[in-house]
Amino acid sequence: QRCCVCGQSGATIMCCMEDCDRWFHLPCAKEGGCVNQYISPFSSFCSEHRLEQEVEATPEPDTVCPICMEPVEDRKTFTTLVCPTCKRRELYLDCIQ
């Protein structure tokens, strides 16, 4: 299969959305905005069908990721998540994955 990110053959991960024919390599997923869920049922999504968090929260000034301790952007982005439990803490997607 051809990777929808780099265009090379050998892609082994398929978007789980019905009727989507996009495939990608695991190393290309991050670069291409694809999402892999490492919890059951282990779903993968291309950049067009990736899930978005429904929580609307704006980080407070000087917020840092509690995992890497780096500053978190002051706006909602694909690279940050809001903690689903407390709905106040911002985390980097890379730190969780």
Could you tell me the pTM of the whole model? 0.63
Torsion of CA 38, 43, 26, 1, to 10 degrees: 160
Q: At residue 96, what are phi and psi to the nearest 5 degrees?
A: -75, -40
Whether residue 25 contacts residue 9, with contact meaning beta carbons closer than 8 Å, is answered with no
Q: To which residue do tokens 């067009």 refer?
A: 48
Contact 2, 32 (CB under 8 A): no
Residue 18: its pLDDT value, please?
93
Query: What type of residue sits at position 16?
Result: C
Q: Give me the average pLDDT of each 10-residue run along the chain (97 residues).
A: 96 95 94 87 91 67 84 74 72 73
For residues 34 and 47, give the distance between their C-alpha atoms in angstroms, rounded to a whole number: 5
Res 30: pLDDT: 85
